[in-house]
Amino acid sequence: MKANFHTHTPRCQHASGTEEEYARAAAEAGFEVLGFSDHCPWPYRTGYVSRIRMTCEELDGYIAAVHRVREEWAGRLRVCLGMEAEYYPDYVDHLRRMRDQGIDYYLLGQHAMNSEEYPGQWTASACEEDDDSVLRFADSITEGVRTGLYACVAHPDIYLRRRPPERFNRACEEAADRIAQVCIEQNIPVEFNLLGLDCRKRGESNCYPVPAFWQYLSRWKVKTIIGVDAHDPALLRRADLWQEGMDTLTSLGFEVLDRLPVKGV
């Protein structure tokens, strides 16, 4: 089965295309399952306003839009309602409340090192030179996965996005070890990210997927899944990226899952 559980909408402020356009692109590309997983809104206690995610006031509209597409495409495409969410201990109850509102699953995408996402706290920036931040990132993934709220770790190598290849050191390996160990323990996969792969192919050499990370991770029997991370419907039609992702993972000996344990799939 061909399925993608990592799809965004314009509510995140850096994606384009309607839910209908994503569904049509997925069906035309041979997908049987399409999971929407836009960036999670957080009820920031400080009043911080994020530039990369919807507001809490937009949540009901997001849920309604995905439900509408699910109904429209019934029998042709299975549509799931998810979120890509960081692990912030102070806001775990917020994730549980959204799950009660109908969110089917969460992807753990740890973009920032603290919940307010101020400049300098972005994971890629914090981990660029600082080994302590690398290990702190791994700790946040470990703690997040152990909540049982997340179905997958999205782009687990995001901590290496701005780190020069020659600085893939023992701290980076230890972070990979910790991520693999907790995913095996909790029986969830790590994601091989096609949006990042497309960026790499277009010349952004420091973007994930990071070859050194995946080569090192292959010593572990951790399960993997391909995530398109579609911020534009056109990316769902990129059969070349999907095939390259499959070829890379299978050549490294990974087990590649075709679905997440999501209701209705």
Q: What is the pLDDT of residue 111?
A: 96
Angle (CA) 89 15 36, round 5°? 60
Q: Which pairs count as long-range contacts for 122-127, CB under 8 Å and 24+ apart, including other chains?
A: 123/158, 123/159, 123/161, 124/158, 124/159, 124/160, 124/161, 124/162, 124/163, 125/162, 127/159, 127/160, 127/162, 127/163
The answer to whether residue 119 scores a pLDDT higher than 60 is no
pLDDT tens column, 39-69: 999 999 888 888 899 999 999 999 999 999 9
CB 53 within 8 A of CB 39: yes
Name the β-bridge partners of 37. Answer: 82
Q: Return mean pLDDT, the chain.
A: 95
CB 54 within 8 A of CB 62: yes
Q: What is the pLDDT of residue 159?
A: 97
Q: What is the pLDDT of residue 118?
A: 66
Residue ranges and CATH numbers for the domains of the chain are: 3-257 (3.20.20.140)
The tokens of 235 are what?
């990316």
Residues 224-240 have a mean pLDDT of 98
The answer to whether residue 121 scores a pLDDT higher than 90 is no
Residues 164-178 have a mean pLDDT of 97
The answer to whether residue 116 scores a pLDDT higher than 80 is no
The better pLDDT of the pair 116, 41 is held by 41
How far is it, in rounded angstroms, from Cα 47 to Cα 81?
A: 27
Percent of the chain at pLDDT > 90 equals 91
Q: What is the pLDDT of residue 265?
A: 86
Residues 136-156 have a mean pLDDT of 98
How far is it, in rounded angstroms, from Cα 85 to Cα 136?
A: 17
HEC string for 120-168: CCEHHHHCCCCHHHHHHHHHHHHHHHCCCCCCEECCCCHHHCCCCHHHC
pLDDT tier at 120, thresholds 50, 70, 90: low
Kindly state the helix (H) or strand (E) to which residue 21 belongs, with its residue range. helix 19-28
**pTM tops 0.95:** yes
Residues 151-178 have a mean pLDDT of 97
pLDDT tier at 31, thresholds 50, 70, 90: very high
